[in-house]
């Protein structure tokens, strides 16, 4: 039977392979290294602010409600993330923090735009659209407003030129 503490610690450690294999073993059957790893994660967890502990517990609850396939995908994503260079990991973390700071409506709009982009069949066009979206997300609200105004001006100029050709 899986102990709640062991499951929590597995989630805290984002379930690396060695700990994931230990998930079904009683604590006393774990290797000394696994036990030490779990103890370290527990201490790390206890040192977190209460709101962070609540967030982690909520994430654990969501993780436990996932299918085994979904849990495997989460583990694989974590391993892929850890394999990235530190600068890329930091960029992803910053994008995530930005995403979390968005309103629910803005997050949903971003999800919809991303889904549309991912459905683009042409890989070059899809890559270009993703790069444009990334640039947009890095802009400040003022830069976005300036971009919108400039784009509007360009559209109006094109329409005016097109109108004069007729």
Contacts of 33 by beta carbon, 8 Å cutoff, 6+ apart: 18
Residue 99: pLDDT over 70: yes
Range of the domain at 18: 1-83
According to the model, what pLDDT value does residue 21 have? Answer: 47
Is 43 a member of any domain?
Answer: yes
Is 91 a member of any domain?
Answer: no
Is 10 a member of any domain?
Answer: yes
* 43 vs 12, residue with greater confidence: 43
Q: What is the average pLDDT across 131-150? A: 86
Conformation bin of residue 66: beta by default, left when phi > 0, alpha when psi is -120 to 50: beta
Contacts of 95 by beta carbon, 8 Å cutoff, 6+ apart: 137
Total domains present in the chain: 1
pTM over 0.75: no
Is 54 a member of any domain?
Answer: yes
* 132 vs 12, residue with greater confidence: 132
Residue 3: pLDDT over 50: no
Is 158 a member of any domain?
Answer: no
* 117 vs 18, residue with greater confidence: 117
**Each residue's pLDDT tens digit, 70-89:** 888 888 888 888 888 898 88
To which residue do tokens 């069949």 refer? 121
> Residue 20's closest CA among 28, 11, 31, 32?
11
To which residue do tokens 């779990």 refer? 38
To which residue do tokens 């400039």 refer? 150
According to the model, what pLDDT value does residue 145 have? Answer: 92
Is 163 a member of any domain?
Answer: no
């Amino acid at each position: 039977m899986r102990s709640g503490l062991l499951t929590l610690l597995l989630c805290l450690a984002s379930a690396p392979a060695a700990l994931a294999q230990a998930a079904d073993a009683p604590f006393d059957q774990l290797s000394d290294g696994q036990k030490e790893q779990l103890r370290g994660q527990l201490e790390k967890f206890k040192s977190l602010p209460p709101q962070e502990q609540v967030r982690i517990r909520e994430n654990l609850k969501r993780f436990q409600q996932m299918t085994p396939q979904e849990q495997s995908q989460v583990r694989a994503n974590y391993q892929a993330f850890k394999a990235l260079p530190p600068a890329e990991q930091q960029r992803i973390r910053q994008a995530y923090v930005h995403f979390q700071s968005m309103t629910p409506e803005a997050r949903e709009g971003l999800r919809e735009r991303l889904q549309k982009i991912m459905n683009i069949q042409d890989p070059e066009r899809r890559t270009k659209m993703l790069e444009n979206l990334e640039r947009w997300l890095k802009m400040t609200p003022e830069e976005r407003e300036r971009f919108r105004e400039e784009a509007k001006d360009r559209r109006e100029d094109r329409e005016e030129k097109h109108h004069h050709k007729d």
